[in-house]
């Protein structure tokens, strides 16, 4: 039996027990703890490094259920990685922060943080205190961010000339699975954002952009619909497949006879009672259909279902209908068509109808999967990007790629300044930080030089992933020029600043941790 303490005696000979320190757990301290943190962070960063740039490789992620995801999106890879180490979990959070705030650059921020920690490890081995390294990094990050402001250019965010926005979106999509048709995807993303953008507030409401996908066809068949796509069909197969100049009643009330709200029981004791009940139900359905028709509506979209009898009556009365439409789709249809959502039949009036130039049912492939397209809407601020692809994995990756492109264009609307990619911005910042380090008389100069070296990891990773000599300027697209402005390799200034800022904050936090306490066996 393990001893729990030591028996001792006071000056009067009375015994007392000294209990062992229960708080002494298995733990790492000092430099040993820092090295452990740096090793975990480097492992995550090295995993991500090969996914950087236009020639970055994809990762195949298999979850606990055996479902496979193929992606090179940094945030997706890290969110699906099964990590145990606390610092590795912080790296996952770092990527998520970049994704939430900017939407792009999730791989780069993790690679940069890993490089900063690798450089810090060498400084620790030379005996420099972690706080001095953290302070040096803070100064260097400030210099780098100021230099980014100096080297940035402004692009024109204009509804008529969208080429600068398309070029920026193409840079984002260049490393994705959709890069074979990245010009088309970039144009779709730009048109979608500009359609829903509020230029006065310089903001974009992503709730108005719906991204749908259907297996089949090619990525090149992806298109932007100025309206809404609903994964439903008309409720009866004999209803017309197309409604022009549609006046739409948008209903969130059940299409059925009213029921008492309290618990009730209906006794039907004879055939006459049953027929009376059936007649009452039919009259109620006919009254509801009459109310819809009297408003001038020629299409009903209902959040709830209705039974076969109601469906047959709708067909007889030449009123096409769609049932079981989800809440988010109902809202988008209301926004797109300028209609009002009606919670009760008694509130339905002609003023609350939505208008669409065309509502049609489309079917796909041999399986004849059906979807409903509502387009030529009164208010085309709600749009749908409809993705086609060979399999579900490609469609899901295309959705993630388009999310990044949409975020980049939104960032340009918020702040239209850009820097040039291909590692150009990082090299310029590294040179600026190195020059300032020479002027710094204190010990922090070593940390500033280390920061400059870490920034160069991004262009080196781009070169390695392209199978090139990392000592040369990086021309991944083989255009014969190393001028990123001529190659139209553009990144948003706000995204690049956020990368440097978040990576530095994370590294400073890690460098200040010198003790890990975990529950475990108490030390003997």
Query: Using CA atoms, how far apart are residues 333 and 342, in angstroms rounded to an integer?
Result: 13
For the beta sheet containing 417-420, the strands, ordered from the edge strand earlier in sequence to the opposite edge, are 153-154, 417-420, 490-492
- CA distance linking residue 470 with residue 487, whole number of Å: 19
Distance CA 173, CA 405 (A): 7
- The H-assigned helical ranges of 128-201 are 130-151, 163-173, 182-196
Q: Report helix, strand or coil for 179.
A: helix
Closest CA to 386 of 378, 374, 376, 377: 374
CA angle, residues 261, 267, 268, in degrees to nearest 5: 125
Question: Which of helix, strand or coil describes residue 222?
Answer: coil
Tell me if residue 515 is catalytic: no
Cα separation, 8 vs 22, in Å, equals 18
Cβ-based neighbours of 415, under 8 Å, separated by 6 or more: 492, 493, 494
Nearest to 431 by CA among 143, 137, 115: 143
Distances (CA, A) of 35 to 328, 464, 514: 49, 26, 10
User: Among 76, 106, 162, 384, which one carries the catalytic annotation?
Assistant: 106
Q: Which of 43, 47, 27, 50 is nearest to 516 (CA)?
A: 27
- Asked if 251 contacts 300 with a C-beta cutoff of 8 angstroms, the reply is yes
DSSP 346: G
- Contact present, 326 and 333 (Cβ < 8 Å): no
Q: Tokens representing 285? A: 């359905």
CA angle 483, 486, 491 (to 5 degrees): 80
Q: Is 404 a catalytic residue?
A: yes
What is the C-alpha separation between 298 and 301, in angstroms, rounded? 10
Across the strands, what pairs with 9? 15
Yes or no: say if 398 and 177 are a contact pair by the CB < 8 Å rule. Answer: yes
CA 386: distance to chain centroid? 17
What's the CA gap between 72 and 266, in Å, rounded?
60
**Cα–Cα distance list, 316 to 245, 313, 320, 429, 473 (Å):** 21, 5, 10, 72, 72
Of 148, 136, 124, whose CA–CA distance to 430 is shortest?
148
Q: Is there a catalytic annotation at residue 252?
A: no
Cα(303)–Cα(322) distance, integer angstroms: 9
From the candidates 107, 337, 384, 504, give the one annotated as an active-site residue: 107
> CA angle, 434 as apex, 430 and 437 as ends, to 5°?
140
Q: Which of 73, 104, 233, 475 is catalytic?
A: 73
Strand 153-154 to strand 417-420: parallel, antiparallel, or no bridges (unpaired)? antiparallel
Active-site residue among 104, 135, 233, 404? 404
Instruction: Answer yes or no: 107 catalytic.
Output: yes
Catalytic sites, residue numbers: 73, 106-107, 404
């Amino acid at each position: 039996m393990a001893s729990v303490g030591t028996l001792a005696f006071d000056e009067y000979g009375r015994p007392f027990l000294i209990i062992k320190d229960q708080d002494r757990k298995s733990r790492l301290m000092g430099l040993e703890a820092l090295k452990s943190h740096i090793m975990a962070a480097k492992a995550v960063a090295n995993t991500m490094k090969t996914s950087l740039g236009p020639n970055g490789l994809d990762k195949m992620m298999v979850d606990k259920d055996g479902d496979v995801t193929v992606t090179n999106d940094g945030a997706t890879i890290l969110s699906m990685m099964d990590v145990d180490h606390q610092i590795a979990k912080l790296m996952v959070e770092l990527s998520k922060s970049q994704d939430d705030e900017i939407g792009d650059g999730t791989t780069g921020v993790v690679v940069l943080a890993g490089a900063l920690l690798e450089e810090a490890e060498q400084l620790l081995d030379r005996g420099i205190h972690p706080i001095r390294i953290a302070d040096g990094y803070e100064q260097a990050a400030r210099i780098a961010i100021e230099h980014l402001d100096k080297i940035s250019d402004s692009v024109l965010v204009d509804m008529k000339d969208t080429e600068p926005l398309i070029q920026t979106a193409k840079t984002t999509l260049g490393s994705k699975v959709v890069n074979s048709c990245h010009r088309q995807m970039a144009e779709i993303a730009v048109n979608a954002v500009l359609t829903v953008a509020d230029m006065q507030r310089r903001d974009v409401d992503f709730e108005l952009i719906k991204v749908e996908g259907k297996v089949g066809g090619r990525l090149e068949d992806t298109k932007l619909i100025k309206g809404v796509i609903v994964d439903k069909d008309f409720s009866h197969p004999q209803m017309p497949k197309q409604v022009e100049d549609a006046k739409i009643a948008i209903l969130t009330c059940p299409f059925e006879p009213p029921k008492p709200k309290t618990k009730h029981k209906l006794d039907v004791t004879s055939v006459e009672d049953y027929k009376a009940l059936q007649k009452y139900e039919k009259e109620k359905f006919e009254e509801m259909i009459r109310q819809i028709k009297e408003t001038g509506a020629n299409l009903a979209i209902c959040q709830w279902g209705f039974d076969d009898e109601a469906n047959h009556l709708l067909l007889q009365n030449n009123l096409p209908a769609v049932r079981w439409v989800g809440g988010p789709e109902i809202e988008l249809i209301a926004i797109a068509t300028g209609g009002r959502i009606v919670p009760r039949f008694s509130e339905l009036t002609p003023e609350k109808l939505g208008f669409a130039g065309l509502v049609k049912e489309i079917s796909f492939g041999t399986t004849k999967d059906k979807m409903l397209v509502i387009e030529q809407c009164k208010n085309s601020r709600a749009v749908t990007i409809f993705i086609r692809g060979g399999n579900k994995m490609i469609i899901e990756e295309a959705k993630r790629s388009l999310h990044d492109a949409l975020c980049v264009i939104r960032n340009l609307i918020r702040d239209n300044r850009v820097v040039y990619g291909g590692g150009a911005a990082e090299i310029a910042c590294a040179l600026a930080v190195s020059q300032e380090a020479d002027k710094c008389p204190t010990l922090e100069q070593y940390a500033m030089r280390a920061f400059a070296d870490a920034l160069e990891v991004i262009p080196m990773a781009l070169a390695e992933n392209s199978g090139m000599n990392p000592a040369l300027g990086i021309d991944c697209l083989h255009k014969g020029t190393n001028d990123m402005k001529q190659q139209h390799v553009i990144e948003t200034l706000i995204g690049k600043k956020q990368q440097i800022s978040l990576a530095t904050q994370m590294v400073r936090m890690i460098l200040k941790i010198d003790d890990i306490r975990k529950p475990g066996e108490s030390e003997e």
